[in-house]
């Protein structure tokens, strides 16, 4: 995945710590309004408790991913001018940031789709959408704010959906798009090739599940237990989704993603028994 689609906090003005609101909850220790700097944000735009966010009640911060939108807004759209620079700049920057994040998220999905062999017949369409989306990210602050991002997302999603169908063809995976699976007992489940687009898997037990080649775009994996699960070849899974879930050292992830530091060491009994709920590996 291109480096410009990965967050570089050293080149950003702490936009996610200022522009976005959060409410006191299991994810954040306090309330914060949009546009107000987080109390942990330092003058150099770094987090004062970065190494202990989870212990200090801010696990939500460890989950968020801007897909590189922060540095694009900071260094390209606003040419390196900090939001503290003047009375008019902060509001515009904070309005641009969430739109830019959506565009960069789409670029992440499109770039992944371009790399998938089963989608080779769509590469011309995908390349055109990458070019169009990238061009939008280089527009003026005003043009980005006024963009009908929902319409652009719908156009991109139509091609991503076709990509998903090509990748999952022949797997026999079920269509569970938008399914409510909160707290579902799916230990050892055969979800190979399933469409789990937008599925609510909050707190689901997916220990030892076979999630190979599944479409996970937009799936809510907060606190889902992926210990021992196999997500090899799953598509449109992001680092933010992985960070929001629980797992261990036996969880198998796509190579573009990294194992979160807070995941536990593997223990016995996380994988499904042989022949139950899993297909034989090809």
Give tens-digit pLDDT for 74-98: 999 999 999 988 667 799 999 999 9
CB 274 within 8 A of CB 258: no
Q: Given 168, 202, 220, which residue is the final one in a domain? A: 168
Q: Given 132, 149, 168, which residue is the final one in a domain? A: 168
Whether residues 11 and 133 share a domain: the answer is yes
Looking up tokens 């992926």 gives: 226
Confirm whether 38 is domain-assigned: no
3-state SS, residue 233: coil
Confirm whether 29 is domain-assigned: no
Q: pLDDT band at residue 276, thresholds of 50, 70 and 90? A: very low
Which H or E element spans position 113?
Answer: helix 89-114
Whether residues 182 and 275 share a domain: the answer is yes
C-alpha to C-alpha distance for 261 and 231, rounded to whole angstroms: 18
pLDDT over 70 at 259, yes or no: yes
pLDDT in tens, 131-164: 999 999 999 999 999 999 999 999 999 999 999 9
**What is the mean pLDDT of the segment spanning 16-27?**
92
Whether residues 281 and 197 share a domain: the answer is yes
Q: At what angle do helices 149-168 and 89-114 cross, to 10 degrees?
A: 20
Residue 267 pLDDT:
65
Expressed as residue numbers, the domain containing 203 is 171-282
> What letter does residue 185 receive in the DSSP assignment?
B
Query: What CATH number did the domain enclosing 259 receive?
Result: 2.160.20
Q: Which residues of 169-205 are buried (b: 16+ CB within 10 A; e: fewer)?
A: eeeebeebbebebeebebbbbbbbbbbbbebbbbbbb
Q: CA 244: distance to chain centroid? A: 9
C-alpha to C-alpha distance for 38 and 18, rounded to whole angstroms: 6
Whether residues 188 and 164 share a domain: the answer is no
Whether residues 14 and 126 share a domain: the answer is yes
C-alpha to C-alpha distance for 73 and 190, rounded to whole angstroms: 42
pLDDT over 60 at 99, yes or no: yes
**What is the mean pLDDT of the segment spanning 51-72?**
93
> What letter does residue 279 receive in the DSSP assignment?
P
Angle (CA) 151-65-221 rounded to 5° is 85
pLDDT over 60 at 279, yes or no: no
Whether residues 84 and 198 share a domain: the answer is no
Whether residues 182 and 227 share a domain: the answer is yes
3-state SS, residue 15: helix
C-alpha to C-alpha distance for 111 and 95, rounded to whole angstroms: 25
Confirm whether 271 is domain-assigned: yes
Point out the least confidently predicted range of 23-32, 117-126, 190-199, 213-222.
Answer: 23-32
Q: Given 122, 137, 168, which residue is the final one in a domain? A: 168
Number of domains in the chain: 2
């Amino acid at each position: 995945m291109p480096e410009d689609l990965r967050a570089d906090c050293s080149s950003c003005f702490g936009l996610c710590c200022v522009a976005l609101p959060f409410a006191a909850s299991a994810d954040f220790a306090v309330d914060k309004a949009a546009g107000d700097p987080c109390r942990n944000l330092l003058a150099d735009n770094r987090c004062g408790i970065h190494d202990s966010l989870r212990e200090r009640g801010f696990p939500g911060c460890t989950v968020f991913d801007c897909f590189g939108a922060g540095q694009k807004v900071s260094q390209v759209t606003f040419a390196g001018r900090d939001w503290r620079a003047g009375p008019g700049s902060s509001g515009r920057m904070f309005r641009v940031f969430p739109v830019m994040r959506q565009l960069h998220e789409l670029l992440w999905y499109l770039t992944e789709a371009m790399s998938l062999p089963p989608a080779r017949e769509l590469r011309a369409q995908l390349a055109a959408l990458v070019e169009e989306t990238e061009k939008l990210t280089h527009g003026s602050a005003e043009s980005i704010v006024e963009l009908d991002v929902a319409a652009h997302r719908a156009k991109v999603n139509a091609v991503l959906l076709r990509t998903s169908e090509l990748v999952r063809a022949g797997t026999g995976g079920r269509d569970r798009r938008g399914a409510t699976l909160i707290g579902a007992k799916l230990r050892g489940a055969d979800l190979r090739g399933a469409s789990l687009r937008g599925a609510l898997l909050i707190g689901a037990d997916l220990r030892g599940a076979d999630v190979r080649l599944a479409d996970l775009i937009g799936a809510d994996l907060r606190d889902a237990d992926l210990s021992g699960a196999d997500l090899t070849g799953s598509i449109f899974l992001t680092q933010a989704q992985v960070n929001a879930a629980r797992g261990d050292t036996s969880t198998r992830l796509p190579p573009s993603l990294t194992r979160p530091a807070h995941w536990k060491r593997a223990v016995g009994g996380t994988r499904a028994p042989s022949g139950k709920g899993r297909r034989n590996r090809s």
